[in-house]
Homo-oligomer: A and B are copies of this chain.
Amino acid sequence: MGHPTDAELETKEMDLRSMSNVQAEYVHKVGIPPKQNLFKEFKATMKETFFADDPLRSFKDQSGSRKFILGIQAVFPILEWGRSYNLAKFRGDLIAGLTIASLCIPQDIGYSKLANLAPQYGLYSSFVPPLIYAAMGSSRDIAIGPVAVVSLLLGTLLQNEIDPVEHAAEYRRLAFTATFFAGITQVTLGIFRLGFLIDFLSHAAIVGFMGGAAITIALQQLKGFLGIRKFTKKTDIISVTHSVFTSAHHGWNWQTIVIGATFLAFLLFAKYIGKKNRKLFWVPAIGPLISVVLSTLFVFITHAEKHGVEIVKHIEKGINPPSVNEIYFSGEYLAKGFRIGLVAGMIALTEAIAIGRTFASMKDYQIDGNKEMVALGTMNVVGSMTSCYVATGSFSRSAVNYMAGCRTAVSNIVMSCVVFLTLQFITPLFKYTPNAILSAIIISAVINLIDFQAAILIWKIDKFDFVACMGAFFGVVFVSVEIGLLIAVSISFAKILLQVTRPRTAILGKIPRTTVYRNIQQYPEANRVPGVLIVRVDSAVYFSNSNYVKERILRWLTNEEENVKSDYQTKIQFLIVEMSPVTDIDTSGIHALEELVRSLEKRGVQLILANPGPIVINKLHASNFANLIGQDKIFLTVAEAVAFCSPKLVEEA
């Protein structure tokens, strides 16, 4: 080591001065917060867990009748915002509603195919649910109806149970059952304020899942797009590619391909225009309807259906028939419907809440997640009784809704009215619409779900997130939507478990000319204090990590002792544990600390604690641990702890 330089001496002197300063004037006791009684503590925890958003805030200090009105308004927000509704707002909503209606009608017909249902069911699902949502929902921008991913998921899960072609009626009944339970799931999560459960699907997993689902959906469209009659029921890329190529010789229909390709090119071009000039957002929005009209006319005139171009053929006319009697409330399909509904309901919820939050933060209004779930759930329960399948918020249509200048949920009502008129009067005209057009519309719609930018950003920020993203993506593409979902959820959970099992620890050093102690890895200029090891534990100490934390600290100590030995420095005599980030500790944690003290004693090292939080200090006292190490060994800051150790060190050195 040699002699210290002047600069070092100076630093040391300053340190000592500031230390003695600290000791002389500034020693503060670690505060012990007033003891709360058990009930109060429990109430506070419950409130923070389930009522974090303080939903009853506005009810405080109100009269009984006022509370009743507020309660009704809480369930039906339309009664609140409806009172200040005016013509200016309606103009925005009308235009937006007409735009999303023109977009949703062709999409609905296509999506119902993904769910293996007849085309009218898609339209049904764009009629009733938006009306319910408009009355109960709190998002102003979301566009309600069937969406691609949920349709595909529902279709896949349902056809695992019942063949949709051979047993069409039972299949449909199971679909309504699943929709019913999807709604029940959503309402239940909302009422019991368990909305936070959907947060367990991480953003990264959703990006991967959506991208994978988009590719799977696009691949499924090859059937309609190429005019293939015999097509695999599996959704993985290998089965589909195999199916496409084995049918290449005799299964493809060139007329279909020409029509499909032409209109796909048109749709993608319309999308491109909309992207280039944001004012022309309506071009891609009405593109699908124009394609449908033009292609239907074309087929009608040329009678292309006689040359193998598959057409829609038949859409039931009239509005939703009741379907309460069709729901399975008993028998083996009850449990299956419940299971499928649970999964589909959760995914639908995830999508709707994500959309709601995104647009709410863009226009800066608040969305109550749990209330939203009740609204979405109610709409699906009612939907299941009126021949609808699972509806939720659509990313693409909500974006169009927003750009078209919607002001309130009235745009959903407008869309619903247009769908109503369509069902009543126009459906027979879709007879000659070629399936290839629907496929082209779906392909152009789902392309947006593949979010390269997001994936790249995830890669940049967090590699583990990227693994989750890719896991979900490849799971969906190469196996199936369920497996992809399972992978996404598993990886998300694994990450949480890792977080609570292996918390980070850091060695702290003193930043020169301050009394601040920081991670020496991040601040290489920080100096270690001779004879003292300062470790920061970066997490609550719970049963899941208490052993690890104890062993990690001992390992830091062993490493340090070896270094010190080889450098002939002062032997480590004090271990300061900086507890600031330790927000809580449980019985296992206390046990681990006790074991730590015992091990340290054997090595002749004293344990000192710095800045335990309110809950931790209470528990250290309750468990008598504070007396075990000595009340005077707990300090407000690391600096004060060091000031306590350093003089004692000199004596022993």
Contacts and interface: CB of A to CB of B under 8 A. Distances in A.
Contacts of A492: 543-544
Interface string A521-538: 111100000000000001
Given A202-B544, A203-B588, A462-B619, 16 more contacts: A52-B551, A361-B599, A457-B587, A458-B587, A461-B590, A462-B586, A492-B543, A495-B542, A495-B586, A496-B544, A499-B542, A499-B584, A511-B636, A516-B637, A581-B581, A581-B583
A447 interface: no
A26 B513 contact: yes
Nearest to A513: B26
Contact of A599 (B364, B463, B464, B540): B364
A367 to B, nearest CB: 10
Interface string A572-610: 000000001101101110110001001100100000000
Interface in A408-463: 454, 457-458, 460-463
A38 B551 contact: no
A544 to B, nearest CB: 5
Interface of A: 25-26, 28, 31-33, 38, 41-42, 48-49, 52-54, 196, 199-204, 357, 361, 364, 454, 457-458, 460-465, 492, 495-504, 506, 511, 513-516, 518-519, 521-524, 538-540, 542-548, 551-552, 555, 580-581, 583-584, 586-588, 590-591, 595, 598-599, 602, 611, 613-614, 617, 619, 622-623, 636-637
A636 B521 contact: no
Contacts of A613: 506, 519, 522, 538
Contacts of A25: 513
A31 B523 contact: yes
Nearest to A498: B49
A469 to B, nearest CB: 9
A199 B588 CA distance: 10
A548 B196 contact: yes
Contact of A511 (B28, B503, B514): B28
List the 9 shortest-distance A-B pairs measured between CB atoms, nearest first. Answer: A202-B543, A581-B581, A522-B614, A203-B588, A538-B583, A31-B522, A31-B523, A462-B586, A460-B622
A528 B588 CA distance: 35
